[in-house]
Amino acid sequence: MSEDSKFHHGEVKDSVPPIVQMKNIEKHFGNIIALAGVSFDIRPGECHCLLGDNGAGKSTFIKTMSGVHQPTHGEILFEGKPMSFATPRDSMEAGIATVFQDLAMIPLMSVARNFFMGREPTKGRGLTKRFDVEQANEITMTEMRKMGINLRGPDQAVGTLSGGERQTVAIARAVYFGAKVLILDEPTSALGVRQTSNVLATIDKVRSQGVGVVFISHNVRHALAVGDRFTVLNRGKTLGTAKRGEISPEELQDLMAGGQELAQLEGSLEGTV
Amino acid sequence: MSDSAPNFEADERIKAEPLISRLMKRPELGAIAGVLLVTIFFLITADSAMFTASGIINFMTPAAQLGILAIGAALLMIGGEFDLSIGSMVAFSGLFFGVCVMVWGLPLIVAIPLTFVFSACVGAINGFIVIRSGLPSFIVTLAFLFILRGLSLVGLKWASGGSTQLRGVRDATENDWLAPFFSGDAFPGFFAWLAEAGLIETFQNGTPKVPGMPVEILWFIAIALVATYVLLRTPIGNWIFAAGGDANAATNSGVPVRKVKVTLFMVTACCAALVAIITVIDAGSTDARRGFQKEFEAIIAAVIGGCLLTGGYGSAIGAFFGSIIFGMVVIGLTYTGFDQDWFQVFLGGMLLIAVLFNNAIRKRVTGER
Ligand SMILES: Nc1ncnc2c1ncn2[C@@H]1O[C@H](COP(=O)(O)OP(=O)(O)OP(=O)(O)O)[C@@H](O)[C@H]1O
Ligand SMILES: [Mg+2]
């Protein structure tokens, strides 16, 4: 578990105003309280990791940021102004792109059609304005190659891709469209070694271009490799935010597991966790 | 989908795909094969008169009337919803159109757009209820199947003073300049020329047996082309596939799924209105049985054309050919020695084969094992 990675980490300057600021977000589903007041912000050029156990509320939280859910209470500021995203389309138009945990892909549609779903490139004007299939195909192939995956063809149906290939399409799509904020909900859960390091390198690259990255992972090593700040969620609440260097991997791992239990577990598994 | 792959460097992990297996992935393949099969069947069994110009027009006219509905139904099915009320919608918009012309005395230039707007509104109500309630469209539109049919009956009695038929539409529209676009035959000059040149059959006095192309066939072809273009070559087409493939994933990817679906319900209703307008002017009257059971026939044609019942897959061209199969079977049997009533057996058989076939194709496309 090396804390020194090959990446240049973003300088999290407190003076830089955040792109998105979430204040005291609460989200209730009927009588279930999924989020009980979470505050979070993301600045340009940083990678902010969101960590936590299963069911901690990470996905629910980023879904309020990307317009899928509307918070029950709380406030979202986008570039300093109060903002409420009614639909995912609104947040996309503001420059926020998301890789959802379930990927949001349509198996029956081709890779290229999935890649540009909702944001199709067009050519022509007026009545002849049409979906530029050639351009869509070409960009898809190029972007996928950048991620280290050689697709057989842009017209292959997503349903025939492997799990990791599918995940890579979703990541490539979000990276391509994430102008200001890129949200990745467990993007590396199905990826091979090479593709994972590719994704981490991509996070590093877009961060250096000034994009704010929100990175959810269960893997402390991946998080530490690219993260600048770490926020741990537990049962719908934040356990706090730490800057890189302020926290050791062991502490982080304990926090993610919600406290002491892991220490006991680790004993019985002889340090393999 | 039909996106042609540009030439990327070859991947050693794909076998060269033979043309036949590429074709196998096209949703409309089944319907085209079906047309060929049915044609061969009737070439063998039917009177040769079936494939003369007048014979073809004979089966293409009902095919076109059904096909306009089937293409609307296909778009809606690809978008992941059903509309069981389109048959009743034909009667209901036929009634509205009849009332516009007969009771209110409106010229066609007002009556036709008004009928479309009215029908689109009814379609939108269908759509809103489905979207808002989250109920399956099957059950919501089944309710409308009865509601609209009942309203048509009640409305007809009101408009005609107690009868279930509203007559006199033809007399009222005969001299309207817009009528030729919605009734009668197109290109009579061309057909007369063909007759003169001896290319089509004529009566003894030299007039062609087929005076022209019935306008519904032109509408049918035009709508099939426009629908295919929209599906394959516009962003909205992509949204329709996405909305039907997985509404949640599509919404999360920024597709305005609700708008797409409501619009599709409106388009389907407008297809019903077009059929109503054409057939009402043609018949000169409207009655409560107009469009009876057309919803099933339209959905069958769409399924024969490759639409999956689960949505997200299908084609408008497929529905086009599916409807032609339908017309050929209905009319073709009269040219053969078979009993007319074989029609239903034939239809059920076609539907079953089509569904089995589509299922196999879908597994191929998605690589399901
Ligand atoms: N639509 C919903 N309706 C009801 N409860 C929900 C809904 N979505 C999430 N929840 C609940 O909210 C809690 C948080 O879920 P969430 O998906 O955000 O967890 P997570 O931190 O992403 O977990 P994981 O690491 O397993 O992905 C869970 O207890 C879940 O059951
Ligand atoms: Mg999650």
In the predicted structure, residue A260 carries a pLDDT above the cut 70: no
DSSP B206: S
Q: What is the ipTM of this complex?
A: 0.87
Q: What is the pLDDT of residues A125-177, one digit of tens each?
A: 888 889 999 999 999 999 998 888 888 888 888 988 888 888 899 999 999 99
Does residue A268 surpass a pLDDT of 60?
no
Does a structural domain hold residue A31? Answer: yes
SS (H, E, C) A22-48: EEEEEEEECCEEEEEEEEEEECCCCEE
- The helix (run of H) or strand (run of E) holding residue A234 is strand A229-234
B157 token code pair: 């009695």
Q: At residue B20, what is the residue type?
A: I
Question: Does any ligand 1 atom lie closer than 6 A to the CB of residue A86?
Answer: no
Buried-exposed string A18-50: b where 16+ CB fall within 10 A, e elsewhere: bbbbbbebbbeeeeebbbbebebbbbbbbbbbb
CA–CA distance, A62 with A184 (Å, rounded to integer): 9
pLDDT for position A2: 41
In a domain, B326, yes or no: yes
Task: Return the minimum-mean-pLDDT range out of A226-235, A254-263, B152-161.
Answer: A254-263
Summarize pLDDT for B265-288 with one digit per residue, the tens: 999 999 999 999 999 999 988 888
State mean pLDDT over A234-244.
Answer: 87
For position A154, what pLDDT does the model report?
A: 87
Give whole-number Cα distances, A118 to A175, A185, B42, B104, in Å.
15, 20, 46, 44
The response to whether residue A108 sits with its C-beta less than 6 Å from ligand 1 reads: no
Residue in A closest to B252 by C-alpha? A88
> How far is ligand 2, taken at its centre, from the CA of residue A58, in Å?
6
Give whole-number Cα distances, A84 to A20, A142, B113, B256, in Å: 11, 34, 39, 17
Question: What integer pLDDT is reported at residue B175 of this predicted model?
Answer: 85
Query: Residue B10: pLDDT band by 50, 70, 90 thresholds?
Result: low
Q: Residue B215: its pLDDT value, please?
A: 94
The pLDDT of residue B6 is above 80: no
> Under an 8 A CB cutoff, do A103 and B3 touch?
no
For residue B164, pLDDT beyond 60: yes
Q: What's the N-to-C CA distance of chain B in angstroms? A: 20
For the stretch B48-99, pLDDT in tens is 889 988 899 999 999 999 999 999 999 999 999 999 999 999 999 999 999 9
In a domain, A87, yes or no: yes
If one counts every other C-beta atom within 10 angstroms of the C-beta of residue A270, the result is 7
**Cβ-based contacts of B249 with chain A (< 8 Å):** 102-106
Asked if residues B173 and B281 have their Cβ atoms less than 8 Å apart, the reply is yes
Q: In whole angstroms, give the CA distance from residue A188 to residue A177.
A: 19
Total structural domains within chain B? 1
Q: Per-residue pLDDT tens for A34-93?
A: 999 999 999 999 999 999 888 899 999 999 999 999 999 999 999 989 988 899 999 999
Of residues B191, B220, B218, B223, the one with CA closest to residue B207? B191
Rg (CA), chain B: 22
Closest Cα to residue A136, out of B243, B256, B18, B237? B237
Top-confidence residue, A96 or A124:
A96
Quote the pTM value. Answer: 0.90
In which element (H, E) is residue A91 found? helix A88-93
Quote the CA–CA distance of B204 and B214 in Å, as a whole number: 22
- Domain membership of residue A82 (yes or no) is yes
Residue A260 lies in a domain: yes
As a whole number of angstroms, the distance between CA A117 and CA A127 comes to 21
Domain that holds residue B206: 34-39+50-364
- The letter for the amino acid at A263 is A
Question: What one-character-per-residue DSSP string does A154-196 give?
Answer: TTSBGGGS-HHHHHHHHHHHHHHH-SSEEEEESTTTT--HHHH
Chain B residues within 8 A of A109 when measuring between CB atoms: 1, 238, 241-242, 245, 312
pLDDT at position B356 over 80: yes
Return the percentage of chain B with pLDDT > 90, whole number. 57
pLDDT at A189 exceeding the cut of 50? yes
Is residue B120 a part of any domain in this protein? yes
Which pLDDT score, from 0 to 100, does residue A271 have? 47
* Residue B369 banded pLDDT, cuts 50, 70, 90: very low
Contact B252 A116 (CB under 8 A): no
In angstroms, the separation between the Cα of residue B170 and the nearest Cα of chain A is: 35
Q: Are strands A237-243 and A229-234 parallel, antiparallel or unpaired?
A: antiparallel
Average pLDDT along chain A: 86
Identify the CATH number of the domain in which residue A224 sits: 3.40.50.300
Instruction: Provide the Cα torsion A27, A28, A29, A32; round to 10°.
Output: 130
Number of domains in chain A: 1
Full residue range of the structural domain in which residue A258 is found: 20-108+178-269
Residue B26 within any structural domain of the chain: no
Q: Ligand 1 pocket: which of A27, A49, A59, A72 to mutate (most atoms <8 Å of CB)?
A: A59
* Residue B4 placed within a domain: no
* Structural domain contains residue A14: no
- Domain contains B304: yes
Supply the CATH number for residue B106's domain.
1.10.3470
Neighbours of B116 (CB within 10 A): 18
Percent helix, strand, coil in chain B, to 5, is: 70, 5, 25
Average pLDDT for chain B: 88
Q: Integer distance in angstroms from the first to the last C-alpha of chain A? A: 12
